[in-house]
Amino acid sequence: MTDLPEQPLPPFPLDQMPVTIEDEMRSSYLAYAMSVIVSRALPDVRDGLKPVHRRILYGMRESGFTADKAYRKAARAVGDVMGKYHPHGDSSIYDAMVRMAQSWSMRVRLIDGQGNFGSVDGDAPAAMRYTEARLARSASFLLDDIDRDTVDFQPNYDESEVEPKVLPASFPNLLVNGASGIAVGMATNIPTHNPGEVIDAALALIENPAMTLDELMTIVPGPDFPTGGIILGRSGIRSAFETGRGSILVRARAEIEEIRKDRRAIVVTEIPYQVNKATLQERIADLVRNKQIEGISDIRDESDRSGMRIVVELKRDATPEVVLNQLYRFTQLQTSFGVNMLALDDGQPRLMGLKDVLEAFIRFREDVILRRARFDLNKIRDRGHLLVGLVLAVANIDAVIALIRAAPDAATARAQLMAREWDAADVVPLLALIHDEGNVVVDGRVRLTDAQARGILDLRLQRLTGLEREKITSELDEVAVRINELLEIIGSHIRRMEVMREELQRARAEIAVPRMTEISDVVGDQTDESLIEPGQMVVTITRDGFIKRTPLDVFRSQNRGGRGRSAAGMRGDDVIVRSFNAHTHQWVLFFSSGGKAYREKVWRLPEASPTAKGRALVNLLPELGSDEITAVLPLPQDEALWENLHLVFATASGNVRRNRLSDFRNIRSSGLIAMKLDEDDRLIGVATCREGQDVFLGTRKARCIRFQITDDTLRVFAGRDSSGVRGIRLGAGDAVNSLCVLGHVDASVEERSAYLRMANAKRRAESALADDAESALSEAEGAESDDAEPVVADEDGEENAPDAALSAERFAEMERLEEILLTVTDGGFGRRSSAYDYRVSGRGGQGITNMTLSSPRRGREVVATLPVLAGEDVMLVTDAGRLIRLPVGQVRVMARQASGVTLFRVDDSERVASVFPVMESEDDEADGGAEGAVDAGAPSADAPESDQGAPNASPGSETE
C-alpha cells in the first residue's frame, strides 16, 4: 500500500478557534457577574437608584404619569417600561414599583399609589391590573432638568429608544431611601436616613469641605427608618459611617401599660425596619406555645389607620421587664441591621462611608448644574441671535416691508434679506455678548443669517406695534442678563455651589420630615441576666461538690417537730453541707478550702427540682481542682454598698482577718487568692461587716467569743496574702464552725443582767396569754428538754450582776437593739438566746460556754449559731437530705447555757448538717400565706436596696 502524501489542514476560521472550557467559563461568568453588578443589583451613588427603578421613574415621566395628572393603571406603566426599557418580566418591574410606593419601605416615597400595595404584615399587593399609580411629588426632584442635557443617555436594549444612564437627582437619594441588593460576589445593604438631616449635611459639606466625620454626625446622628424603632448604641453607626460597614442594633418601641386592674400588657407601637408584623406575632405565639417564654396570656393586633399597636397581655404573676427582654432576645422585636454601603461610583463598585457618599453626590450635582448651564447658554444664545434679527428688522421696518412686498416668493425674500447689509450700531454690543459667529459686522453694518431671515418672515404684523417693539427690546435685555448669569455659573465653582445650595434648600422644604427612629446611647446587647425572672432561690451544696438552686416558694412552712420534706436526691452517702437563699441577680462569692475566691451569679447556677442532685461544682468552677468550697457569701445587689462594707474571714483554727469588700470586685474566672492559710487550716466563714460591729465566733464544742471590730482589735488588712490574727484560742479537738457579725451595744454588766431578767419576765407574761393547747405542748416539751431549767451561774467566771432595775426608756432602747441568736445541735435540738447574754471581750481569748451539751441524744456538737429575726422562718437540712422549715417564733428564748427544745426529729443515724433563716415578705404576711417567701438579705423590687442586702453571717453557719 502506497503512503499518501500528507495534506496541509485548511485554515481554521478565527471566530471558531477552539478554547479551553476553563477560559470560556471564566470569561462568560465574569461577563455575567459584571452585568448583574452594573445593570441590576447595585445602586448608583449619584441618584441612589438601580436600573429598574430608574427606568420606572423615567418611563412614567415620559408617559405623562406625573404628580399633577390623574392616577393611571399600574399595568400600563409596567407595560411601557417593559416594552421600552427593561427587558425582564413584568413581576420584577411591578415589585420594584410597589416598593417605591410603600411608606414602610421608603423614607421618601417616589411613587404615589392608589389601591392595595401590600402591608407591613407581609400581605402581597393586588395585581397590577387593579392598582393605579403616578409619580410622587418628591420624584420630580430626581427627574427635573433631565431634558436639558444634564445627564448622558444610552440606547435601550433594542436601540429603538434612549434611556438615561443616571437621573439628575437634586438630593442624596441613596442615603435618604437606602438600597439593598445581592450581586455576584458582593451585596449592598444601605439603611434609610432622615431627608432633612441628609440635606443639611450636604449643605454643611458644601460650606466646609474639610468637615470631619464627627462634625457630620452631629447633623446626621444615624439612620432613620420609616418604621421608627430605637437604635441602641452609636458604635455600629460610627463604624458604618466611617468604613461603610457596621452592625446597627434596632429595637422595637414598647411600653408597659396597665390595661385593667392587676393586669399589665406590653404594647408595641413601632417595630424594626423590614420586620414582618404578622410573622413577628406568629413567632411570639410559637415561643409561648413551646414554653420558651412564660408569662404571656394573650397577644392581639390592635393596629389601625392611626398607627401600629401590638398588645402582648401578661399573666398576673409575670414580670413585664423580664418578658420584654425575652421578647427582645428571641424575636424580631430586636434585630441587627448589617450596613454595607456598597454602590457604583463611576461604574465601579465601591464601599463608601457617609462623607464619601455626600462628596460623590456633590461632585455629580455640580456637573449637572454645569451641563445645564451650558445647555441653557446655547439655548439663550440661539434666542438672542433671533432677537438681533428682529431688532434689525423693526429698526428698518419700512425697508423690510418694501423688500418683502416686491419679492415674488418667500425664498427670494429670504435671499434678499440676507444679501442686504443693515445698520448694526444698536446691536453690536449684543452680538459680542452672545458670541454670534453668524453675523459679521463690517464698517458698522451686518448681514442677516438664514435663521434671522426666517424669523423676520415669520414675524406677525402685531409685533410691529410700539408695545411689541418694546417687548422685543426688553426681551433682548433679559437675554443679555441671563447670558451673563450663565457665564458666571459656568466660570465659577463658588457660583455653582451657591446654585446647588439654593436647590437643596428648595428640596428640603418639600421633602423634610421629622425623625422617626430614636438613637439611644444605651448599649443594646442584652445580658442573659435580663432574661431571668427575678426571684428567691434556695441554693444547696453537697459534700461531694454538687450544687443547684430551687425556687424558695417550693418549700412550704411547717410547725416545729414536723417531718419536713426532701430537699435533694442523694446518691450513695452524699450529704448536704451548705444551704442559703439568695436573689437570682445577686453575686455569690465562693471560697475554697485552699483560700481562693470565685464569683458567680445565682441565676447561672443550675436550677433543679427539690429532689434533683444538681450539678458538679467543678463544672461551674473548672479551676477549683481538688479543693472544696468551704464558704459561700451572697453579696448585696447594689454594688454601691460594697464601698462601705468590709469582709471578715474566719478559719477553723480560730484565725480572723478583715479586708475591704471592694478588694474582691474583679475576680477572674480562674479565681483569686483570698487568704493565705496555715498548713492543715481551712476557711470556715466569711461575712460582711462595718467598723464598730462585733464578731461572734462559735465552735463545735459549744464555746464562743464576741469582740468588737476596731482598728485596735481587728485592723483592715491591705493585702490578701496574710493568714490573719488569732480570734479565739481553741481547746483540743475543737474547731470554729460559726461566724456572725452582730451590732455593738454599749451596756454595762448590770444593765445586761437587769435587761435579761426584765425581758424574760415580759416573755413569760406574753407566753401566758397563748392558747391553752399550745401552752400545754410547750410545757411538755420543756419538761423533756430542760426547757425551763433555771439559769445557772456562769461557769466561765463572769460574775452575776446584782439585781437592778432599768428605766422604761433604757429598757425600750435595749429592746429595740436586741439581737437573738439561734443555736442548733446536730441532734435537732436548739434554743434562742439574747445577744446580751454574750459579753464582749477581747480578741484571742478562750471564750465562754455557748450551750450545754447534756446528752448525746440532744447533740454531740453544735452545728451553727446564727442571728434570727422575729417573724422569720428557719430551715434545717439533714445529712440524709431531709429539710424542715419552721417559724423561729416557735423556739423559746432561753439562757445561754440551756440545752434547748426539739426542732427536728431525726433518726438515730441522721444528723442535722446545716441551718439557715428565711423571712416572709410583707405581702405574704398580709395574705396570711406561708407558701411564698423572699430572702431577708435581698430587698424587694419595690423597695430601695439597703444594708439589709448584705449578709451578716457566714455560710459556715448557713445563713445569708
β pairing state of 230-232 and 518-520: parallel
Provide φ and ψ at 212, rounded to 5°: -85, 165
| Domain-wise residue ranges, the chain | 49-168, 253-332, 369-509, 557-743+819-957, 747-792+801-817
CA dihedral 799, 802, 805, 810 (to 10 degrees): -30
pLDDT in tens, 778-833: 444 443 333 434 344 454 545 455 556 788 888 888 888 888 899 999 888 898 99
Top pLDDT among 197 and 426 is at 197
What value does the mean pLDDT take over residues 514-528?
77
pLDDT in tens, 95-137: 999 999 999 999 999 999 999 999 999 999 999 999 999 999 9
Residue 8: predicted pLDDT: 64
Top pLDDT among 654 and 528 is at 654
pLDDT in tens, 867-888: 888 888 888 888 887 888 888 8
Helix, strand or coil, per DSSP, at residue 414: helix
pLDDT in tens, 130-163: 999 999 999 999 999 999 999 999 999 899 999 9
User: Yes or no: is domain 369-509 CATH 1.10.268.10?
Assistant: yes
Lowest mean pLDDT among 400-414, 565-579, 752-766, 946-960: 946-960
Residue 557: predicted pLDDT: 56
Residue 952: predicted pLDDT: 41
pLDDT in tens, 251-264: 999 999 988 877 89
CB 189 within 8 A of CB 173: no
Residue 564: predicted pLDDT: 56
Can 49-168 and 369-509 be said to share one CATH topology?
A: no
Give the CATH fold of the 253-332 domain. Gyrase A; domain 2 (3.30.1360)
Q: Which long-range contacts (CB under 8 A, 24 or more apart) does 502-508 make?
A: 503/170, 504/170, 504/171, 504/199, 504/202, 504/203, 504/206, 505/199, 505/203, 506/170, 507/141, 507/170, 507/171, 507/199, 508/171, 508/195, 508/196, 508/199, 508/200
Neighbour tally for 371: CB within 10 Å: 18
Q: What is the Cα–Cα distance from 912 to 813, expressed in whole angstroms?
A: 36
Residue 432: predicted pLDDT: 60
pLDDT in tens, 528-583: 565 666 778 888 877 677 888 888 877 655 555 555 555 555 455 455 656 777 88
**412 band by pLDDT with thresholds 50, 70 and 90:** confident
| Cα within 13 Å of Cα(865), Cβ side | 34
Lowest mean pLDDT among 51-65, 214-228, 425-439, 594-608: 425-439
What value does the mean pLDDT take over residues 313-325?
87
**Residue 741 pLDDT exceeds 70:** yes
For this structure, is 94 an active site residue? no
List 29, 32, 130, 157, catalytic entry: 130
CATH number of 557-743+819-957: 2.120.10.90
Q: What is the Cα–Cα distance from 55 to 61, expressed in whole angstroms?
A: 10
Residue 561: predicted pLDDT: 56
Residue 543: predicted pLDDT: 63
Give the CATH fold of the 49-168 domain. Topoisomerase II; domain 5 (3.90.199)
What value does the mean pLDDT take over residues 466-475?
75
What value does the mean pLDDT take over residues 76-93?
93
Q: Which residues contact 865 (CB under 8 A, 6 or more apart)?
A: 696, 698, 704, 738, 740, 821, 822, 823, 824, 850, 957
